[in-house]
Structure 1
Amino acid sequence: MTGTVGEYGLPEEPGVVWLDPADERLGWDGICGFERSGGSVLPLRMPGERIATTLSDNFARLAAIPAGARFAMRTDATELLLDLDAETGTAPLDVLADGVLVDRRHPGPGRERLAVALPGAPTDVEVWLPHLSRTRLAAVGLRGPRLPEPVPRTGPRWIAYGSSLTHAMFPHGPSESWTALLARRHGWRLRNLGFAGEAYLDPLVARVVRDTPAELITLEIGTNAYIRSVFTARSWGPAVCGFVETVRDGHPDTPIAVIAALPSVEREHAVNAAGLTLAGIRELTGAAVRVLQRLGDRRLHLVDGRQVLPVARADRLYADGLHPTPQGEHLLAGLIEPFLLPLLVPPLDG
């Protein structure tokens, strides 16, 4: 980077307004804050101070990856400049203008500046960061603009917890995972708490969800517990109950949908090291939800993964027997949508 240094300690360049990445005019969503170091910021979807309680280096690594993190502003700039530092990853960065994809890049590895052409007329510009690699931002630049304004975010807040199926492995880009597609379609404010291979009902995650405002919460659970043989038939149900009850402590009236293990043909009836099948994990999940419903939780809902996606159709959706193809992400969004939309209708006694 060359030139003199101006406001925010960023480089001065004729015709370019530079913004600190944490500037409120950028209208961030899907995050809880920033980690600032070395002249750049890392958007965080989990607060960092308690992550050590998971005792998992892999969880800590995933928590630093900004899945679902995006910022939006209204601007008439002709060019967007992103000064960033990204790890090597398979996921791109998406730039949308008035909801339409206008640029998709694979940044990194290392420090670089991306330049993206914009319409030059007042436009809502949204940037989705790569969802599979840690990406730090040093500066956001706009060429030839009036001062940008944040895009108002007034839709319902949606926390989506889960495994790699929620995190998303193979979408075309971060704005085309099934969670992102639903959020964009309906104006929901997505907070993606999907952790690939790490959805083990950690108490830390339950407390974070408990303490985060939301109008809809989804818990896509069971797949990681089965694959890693983490829980037995005795321990899984109580763990589900404990996680949900912790979340409920902070959300007495918020609809919570437990999405019980989307199907996987090769795993449905294969017994794991803990003596469970994927079908068995799903049944135990349903039993736990029904216990809490009988105890009075009227806003807790069970979504059986086989109702969303019949077992016979699963392999047509997946790239590898477990994760959706890029087109499968679009199909999955449409399949889950009818189960989630009604949950945002206030109850008659509300």
Structure 2
Amino acid sequence: MRTISPADPSLTWLGAIDVEHTPDWSRPWRLPYRDLDLFPGARLRQRAAIPAGVRLVVQTNSVVIGGRALPGQAGERRVVDVVVDGALAETIDVQRDGTFRSGVMPPGEKAVELWLPTTDELRLATLCIDDDAELSPANPASRPRLVVYGSSISQCAAAASPTRTWPAIVARGLGMELTGLGFGGECKLDPMVARLIRDLPADVIITCLGINVYGSGVFNERSFLPAVLGLLTTIRDGHPRVPILVISPIASPDREEVTGESGMSLAQIRELVHEAVAVLRRHGDNDLRVLSGLEVLGPDDSGLLWDGLHPGPRGYEHMGEKITAVVEALVPATVARLGRRHAEARIQ
């Protein structure tokens, strides 16, 4: 097979904030890697190197595609979804030696998306196609842009595969281009993350707030509400009329009435998230909406939580279905029409 450098201009990286290219490998980042000192916290930076929601897109007539990656930092199982002309073709493992390879794809020219792992970083050394195959930029059509910010429940490491996370289900179902900023254990309302979202192109923004505050003690009852207000108003500064959906924590039965490190129960945190949205709506932000996490995954759905906190594969698919319906009703008609055209083309 012919090897291609991951820095080749024929390759398009979607869903990445930045891509770090070295002579030996390329690594997508979900924070600007040259400015990581503006995003303090070793774990936040480690999570930002995990390419959840990132896609490597090519146009090719190759019937097989593969590659080789360096070992990950966490040693977790890594899988890649191969999407051909918008439809999921297969899920393939990245082997212990870093290699991965698809099965036989349909002949002829096609757009191939490699949805990268949600579990560990991926430093891509080479991409491989058939010896006689051609490669060209995919030139993806302009689609409505969805930006998602949240915790491990938005990073979705326990999803069945990268296209079956709830953000991917929402984006693919509505024909939107995803930028996923789910950082496991690190959704702590960082001002610099708020500024990043403020400056990203977006047609819909979803923020999932509260669960990492419960367990970390980074805020208390006095400071949490102002922090949520600050995050949302900073994002709004860059997106004056974009719909913003705020989702409060999903159910976690053992935490609902139990005080966490924040000095608040999960139920109290949920109430404060809702209060923040109510305050901003009273001050004229009519494009801001709140969705209770209990409506997304409630106490009766707790069997979908593999550890009482994080959804398993079926749980993430359940969340994707619930949130898709809400977002579809939320987006302006022009955005919805554009997204539907892409979603319908994908299905066909």
Q: TM-score, normalised by structure 1?
A: 0.89
Q: What secondary structure does 2:70 align onto?
A: strand
Measure the CA separation in 2 of the matches of 1:149 and 1:200.
Answer: 37
Amino acid at match of 1:85: L
Summarize deviations over 1:179-224 as a string: whole Å, max 9, x none.
Answer: 1112122221100100001100011110110111110110001011
1:217 maps to: 205
Amino acid at match of 1:171: A
Alignment partner of 2:68 out of 78, 83, 91: 83
Amino acid at match of 1:120: P
Alignment partner of 1:334 out of 292, 298, 321: 321
Measure the CA separation in 1 of the matches of 2:38 and 2:140.
Answer: 35
Contact kept, 8 Å, 1:214 with 1:254, in 2: the verdict is yes
Contact kept, 8 Å, 1:159 with 1:214, in 2: the verdict is yes
Alignment partner of 2:118 out of 109, 126, 131: 131
2:343 maps to: none
Measure the CA separation in 1 of the matches of 2:153 and 2:9.
Answer: 31
Amino acid at match of 1:191: T
Measure the CA separation in 2 of the matches of 1:160 and 1:265.
Answer: 25
C-alpha displacement at 1:269, in angstroms?
A: 0.8
Number of matched pairs: 331
Measure the CA separation in 2 of the matches of 1:53 and 1:147.
Answer: 37
Amino acid at match of 2:272: L
Contact kept, 8 Å, 1:24 with 1:150, in 2: the verdict is no
Alignment partner of 1:237 out of 200, 225, 229: 225
Is 1:29 the equivalent of 2:29? no
Measure the CA separation in 2 of the matches of 1:307 and 1:295.
Answer: 26
Contact kept, 8 Å, 1:175 with 1:181, in 2: the verdict is yes
Q: What secondary structure does 1:139 align onto?
A: strand
Measure the CA separation in 2 of the matches of 1:33 and 1:229.
Answer: 30
Contact kept, 8 Å, 2:253 with 2:308, in 1: the verdict is yes
Amino acid at match of 1:124: A
2:56 maps to: 71
Is 1:43 the equivalent of 2:46? no
Gaps of 5+ in 2: 335-348
Give every structure 1 segment of 4 or more consecutive aligned residues whose post-TM-superposition deviation is greater than 4 Å: 108-111
1:7 maps to: none
Contact kept, 8 Å, 2:215 with 2:262, in 1: the verdict is no
Contact kept, 8 Å, 1:91 with 1:174, in 2: the verdict is no
Bigger mean CA offset, 26-35 vs 166-175? 26-35
Alignment partner of 1:152 out of 132, 137, 140: 140
Measure the CA separation in 2 of the matches of 1:79 and 1:307.
Answer: 42
Contact kept, 8 Å, 1:35 with 1:43, in 2: the verdict is yes
Contact kept, 8 Å, 1:52 with 1:60, in 2: the verdict is no
Q: TM-score, normalised by structure 2?
A: 0.89
Measure the CA separation in 2 of the matches of 1:232 and 1:174.
Answer: 34
Amino acid at match of 2:24: G
2:312 maps to: 325
Q: What secondary structure does 1:118 align onto?
A: coil
C-alpha displacement at 1:298, in angstroms?
A: 1.5
Bigger mean CA offset, 21-30 vs 321-330? 21-30
Q: Which has the higher contact order (CA 8 A, sep 6+)?
A: 2
Contact kept, 8 Å, 2:58 with 2:135, in 1: the verdict is no
Question: Where do residues 1-350 of structure 1 align in structure 2 (5 Å cutoff)?
Answer: 16=2, 18-87=3-72, 88-109=75-96, 111-112=98-99, 114=101, 116-143=103-130, 144-311=132-299, 313-346=300-333
Q: What secondary structure does 1:135 align onto?
A: coil
C-alpha displacement at 1:108, in angstroms?
A: 4.8
C-alpha displacement at 1:24, in angstroms?
A: 4.0
Contact kept, 8 Å, 1:86 with 1:108, in 2: the verdict is no
Amino acid at match of 2:301: A
Summarize deviations over 1:58-113 as a string: whole Å, max 9, x none.
Answer: 11111111111112233221221313223121331111223343332332545546
C-alpha displacement at 1:141, in angstroms?
A: 2.5
Measure the CA separation in 2 of the matches of 1:208 and 1:105.
Answer: 32
Measure the CA separation in 1 of the matches of 2:89 and 2:262.
Answer: 48
Measure the CA separation in 2 of the matches of 1:293 and 1:239.
Answer: 16
Contact kept, 8 Å, 1:86 with 1:133, in 2: the verdict is no
Measure the CA separation in 2 of the matches of 1:19 and 1:280.
Answer: 52
Measure the CA separation in 2 of the matches of 1:110 and 1:147.
Answer: 25
Measure the CA separation in 1 of the matches of 2:78 and 2:160.
Answer: 8
Change (3 A) 1:92 1:147: closer
Measure the CA separation in 2 of the matches of 1:49 and 1:243.
Answer: 23
Q: What secondary structure does 1:124 align onto?
A: strand
Measure the CA separation in 2 of the matches of 1:212 and 1:288.
Answer: 23
Measured on the aligned residues, the alpha-carbon RMSD in Å equals: 1.9
